[in-house]
Amino acid sequence: MRMNADIKYPLYETTVFENFRVMVENVARKYPDRIAYSYKKDPRDTKTVDVTFSQVRDDVRNMGTELISMGCTDKKVAIIGETSYNWICSYYAMMATGAIVVPVDKDMPLDELTGILNFAECEYIVYSTSVEEKIMQIGDSVPALKTYICMGEPNMKSALKLSVLIEKGKTKFENGDNSYYDYEIDPDKLATIVFTSGTTGKGKGVMLSQKNIVSDMTQGMYLFAITPKTMAVLPPHHTYCSTVVFVGHFAQGCTIFINSGLKYFMSEMKEQQPSHLVLVPLFVETMYKRIWTTAQKNGKAGTLKRMIKVSNFLRKIGIDLRRVLFRSILDNFGGKLEMIILGGAAINQDIIDMFDAIGITILNGYGITECSPLVSCNRNKYQKKGSVGLPIIGEQVKIKDPDENGEGEICVKGPNVMLGYYKDPDATAAVFDEDGYFMTGDYGKLDDEGWLFITGRLKNIIILSNGKNVYPEEIEQEIQRITGVSEVVVYAGETKNRNNKEVIVAEIFPDYQLLKLKGIEGTQAINAYFNKEIKRVNSRMAPHKAIRKVKIREEEFIKNNSKKILRHAIDKSIDDVDFTEN
């Protein structure tokens, strides 16, 4: 067990704050006229709406004043919609006035939405106009729900308009209502219930306090230096966005452009010129594939490989020409992108190395909702290949029941660890060990210097009849290195006549465009190509990890809103024939 590794270079400065209200006040005092958030009313327009940190403070205070007047303190308030300035302000205001925030996925089906609203006993809901049609269908199915607040222009007659509430709160404050500042925030009290996406099944309601979230960022932000501008791309109802971007980066005075939607990601990155991003691997993998597909199409893939070798050699002797040599590539990402903070799933080290070679540092990290979410992260100039970095300051990480390789379940203890699962004391008790550590369900190891390495997810482990464990994520990273693989999932195939634990399957969604450029087209040719490549992968691995069956998909895997593949939605049935020979 280690709290964190020896620090090889100094910790960065960070902003310390006790709760959301102090956070908003501090940054407004320090950078009153700096742009905090910018966004477009119309994605097709180049003009942005810019909001300063002092304006954020005023909007949050005014909204908070009215929320207190409406009786929202200590009440469950659901918030549902895409990332927007109004979503963020609502989140800040509710946290600062003692409401219990229940963020909900905007793409959630109506029956699941009403199920969560009932389970969480929500009395208020704040929603965007994009989901109003769904909200209007709730009707009497959520008896506790009495108040509807629309972030835009409502069509529902009974809905209140957020901008009107802000104006009412402003009037109250100007007339001497100081309830927003007088309200005493309890940092240990339940502040939000975050329902996990459940990539392997049904999610749970994770209970977090302001202390959980605030400590995660004030202690985590010591480890890496952020740049002046980023883009909010990830869904707001997940802690990766709401904590890391809306708390960690906002508190540091970073300007945040709110992306208009996934289809505008590349064009707005080029236009807005962020200097760093917070992403999940799918975005980076897409960027990586676009670089190589474009190079292949233009007949410059070989030239690019040679330039990378030359650049890497020059860096070894102290000459860094990456921003010059790879300017044409970097310009496609806005020209100022220096760093990507990455989490949410595994990524191949080859991709990290390639981005580093062209001038973009990828800081791979590890987080889980139950830890608010950040557990560990690599540092700007202090990284270890294959690792998800160093545990954040003040946090204890241990490996439970390690095997002969030092691998076991990753367990975490610290102020960022959740209060428990909502209305589920049995599930809560089951994930804490006798020493009070949260058992993440992820497998990994700590090296001698305290760096954390992820092996795989406990629920995904394939247990062979000889007792050996196979971690699908480890094999998936190897397969991702095959040219033409867009997505891959490894699992134990289910057959009628074979022991399904012995049939390890690699299901691949190819990059059909790239394969076509390589002259590989048609079902037969694509199958032959991947079977040949998988045999090469098998030759590099222990025999018990060998892929016995390759399945080719015509469509990408089903994913949740944070772009994680839903493993439980995959049809794992396979034929009893045509197995790949070792």
In a domain, 288, yes or no: yes
- The CA radius of gyration of the chain, in Å to the nearest whole number, is 25
Write the CATH number for 479: 3.30.300.30
Domain shared by 450 and 485, yes or no: no
Domain shared by 491 and 565, yes or no: yes
Domain shared by 363 and 398, yes or no: yes
- The whole-number pLDDT of residue 465 equals 67
- The whole-number pLDDT of residue 500 equals 47
Sign, CA dihedral 233-15-410-434, equals negative
- The whole-number pLDDT of residue 1 equals 44
Q: In a 3-state reduction of DSSP, which class is residue 55?
A: helix
CA–CA distance, 558 with 433 (Å, rounded to integer):
34
In a domain, 490, yes or no: yes
Q: Which of 459, 474, 495 is the last residue of a domain?
A: 459
In a domain, 348, yes or no: yes
CA–CA distance, 211 with 570 (Å, rounded to integer):
38
Sequence letter at residue 352:
I
Domain shared by 395 and 497, yes or no: no
Q: In what order do the strands lie in the sheet with 408-413?
A: 396-400, 408-413, 438-446, 452-457
Q: How far apart are the first and last CA of the chain?
A: 39
User: Is the separation of the CB atoms in 420 and 428 below 8 Å?
Assistant: yes
Total domains in the fold of the chain: 2
Tally of helices (H runs) and strands (E runs) in the chain: 20, 26
Write the CATH number for 329: 3.40.50.12780
Domain shared by 447 and 473, yes or no: no
In a domain, 123, yes or no: no
Domain shared by 280 and 330, yes or no: yes
Q: Which of 443, 459, 475 is the last residue of a domain?
A: 459
In a domain, 13, yes or no: no
- The whole-number pLDDT of residue 497 equals 57
Domain shared by 509 and 443, yes or no: no
User: Is the separation of the CB atoms in 252 and 15 below 8 Å?
Assistant: yes
For 96, the token pair is 């600062």
Domain shared by 519 and 442, yes or no: no
In a domain, 118, yes or no: no
Q: Output the CA–CA distances (angstroms, integers) from residue 51 to 28, 94, 242, 533, in the order listed.
A: 11, 20, 18, 52
- The whole-number pLDDT of residue 322 equals 97
Q: What is the DSSP string of 403-454?
A: -TTS-EEEEEESTTS-SEETT-HHHHHHTB-TTS-EEEEEEEEE-TT--EEE
Query: pLDDT digit of tens for each residue in the chain (582 aa)?
Result: 444 444 566 788 888 899 999 999 999 999 999 999 999 999 998 899 999 999 999 999 999 999 999 999 999 999 999 999 999 999 999 999 999 999 999 998 999 899 999 999 999 999 999 999 999 999 999 999 999 999 999 999 999 999 999 999 999 999 999 999 999 999 999 999 999 865 444 569 999 999 999 999 999 888 889 999 999 999 999 999 999 999 999 999 999 999 999 999 999 999 999 999 999 988 998 899 889 989 989 999 999 999 999 999 999 999 999 999 999 999 999 999 999 999 987 788 889 999 999 999 999 999 999 999 999 999 998 999 999 999 999 999 999 999 888 999 999 999 999 999 999 999 999 999 999 999 999 999 999 999 999 988 777 888 776 667 788 888 988 898 898 999 999 998 886 654 445 689 999 999 999 899 889 999 999 999 999 999 999 998 888 889 999 999 999 998 876 677 888 888 888 875 444 544
* Residue 359 lies in domain: 276-459
Q: In a 3-state reduction of DSSP, which class is residue 278?
A: strand
In a domain, 46, yes or no: no
DSSP 545: G
Q: Which of 417, 434, 459 is the last residue of a domain?
A: 459
Among 215, 223, 284, which residue's Cα sits nearest to residue 243? 215
In a domain, 106, yes or no: no
CA–CA distance, 388 with 224 (Å, rounded to integer):
13
Q: Output the CA–CA distances (angstroms, integers) from residue 576 to 106, 392, 500, in the order listed.
A: 41, 48, 10
Among 111, 148, 112, which residue's Cα sits nearest to residue 132? 148
- Kindly state the helix (H) or strand (E) to which residue 237 belongs, with its residue range: none
CA-based angle 77:78:83, to the nearest 5? 125
Domain shared by 328 and 469, yes or no: no
Domain shared by 452 and 483, yes or no: no
Long-range pairs, 409-413, Cβ under 8 A, ≥24:
409/439, 409/440, 409/441, 409/442, 409/443, 409/458, 410/375, 410/440, 410/442, 410/443, 410/444, 410/452, 410/454, 411/437, 411/438, 411/439, 411/440, 412/371, 412/375, 412/437, 412/438, 412/440, 413/437, 413/438
Among 62, 108, 59, which residue's Cα sits nearest to residue 84? 59
Domain shared by 297 and 430, yes or no: yes
Domain shared by 471 and 335, yes or no: no
Sequence letter at residue 355:
F
Whole-model pTM? 0.85
